[in-house]
Amino acid sequence: MDKKNWIIVGIIIAAFAGLISISVIQNRSGIDYSQYDLNNIIPADENSGGLSENISGSADAPIVIYEYGDYQCTACAPINPYINEIIEEYDGKVAVVLRTYIMDYHDNGTAAASAANAAAIQGYWEEYKNLLYSKQNDWYYSNANERQQQFEEYFNEASNSKGDLEKFRSDMKSKAVSQKISFDRQLSQLVGVDWTPTFYLDGELIDQRGMNTNEFLKTLRQKIDEMLDERGIENPTKNKKSNNKDN
């Protein structure tokens, strides 16, 4: 068999393996994930426990970045403030959807995701997410009792003591929250995530491997700028960039 035929055979095998992988994911969960467009915000339904996507920024933003992350991930925590800066810089034009993909070796990852989604139910997800990341070193090695106490303290801080702590505790253990975590994981597997954080923009993987933080952020901003230009949408950062060049 010549080289060309071997390439064709390889493509067929890879495609077949991909179909098997998708089928396995669907069969294990009993959910047909082909019904979901992973490059758009997915409305809440019974498969996600009735819980909405966790979004930083406006859900109506024309540019949406999809981040697959783990609250216990030591690479996710330091990038979070920079992602927040981008959302602020683009002033309503960019939003980030965080779907959790918990690494198997993170003992506190599921509990952290449960806490974040419980906070989301009461409208405090973004504040809570930021606290989990900024205080990650404090709870990273905590045992179950320590962790629960810390997560409850974070909830009070995120909600400015206005949240319902009893409901937060109950929601952490709820079927809805468990379904949401499982739903996010299945979406992550369908995309092919195997490390965190993983970022997708307009269906394209923004691969940060081999890049330092500055290089990755520069690439991400360039992609955003290109998309805004292509769609004829005003770029709120252009004047700032022009002023910086002039100075």
Q: Give residue 241's pLDDT.
A: 58
Q: Give residue 31's pLDDT.
A: 86
Say yes or no to pLDDT of 12 above 50.
no
Q: Give residue 25's pLDDT.
A: 42
Does residue 206 lie in a domain region?
yes
Q: Are residues 130 and 216 in the same domain?
A: yes
Q: Tell me if residue 201 falls in helix, strand or coil.
A: strand
For the chain, the helix, strand and coil percentages under 3-state DSSP, each to the nearest 5? 55, 10, 35
Find the domain containing 17 and state its range. Answer: 1-28
> Bridge-partner residues for 65, per DSSP?
96, 201
Higher pLDDT, 29 or 181: 181
- Specify the pTM: 0.85
Q: Are residues 15 and 91 in the same domain?
A: no
Cβ count within 10 A of residue 212: 9
Overall size of the chain counted in residues: 247
Say yes or no to pLDDT of 13 above 50.
no
Over the stretch 79-90, which tens digit does the pLDDT of each residue have? Answer: 999 999 999 999
In the chain, the number of structural domains is 2
Q: Tell me if residue 32 falls in helix, strand or coil.
A: coil
Rg value, the chain, Cα: 20
Q: Are residues 21 and 69 in the same domain?
A: no
Token look-up 């493509």 returns 11
Quick one: what percent of the chain has pLDDT higher than 90? 81
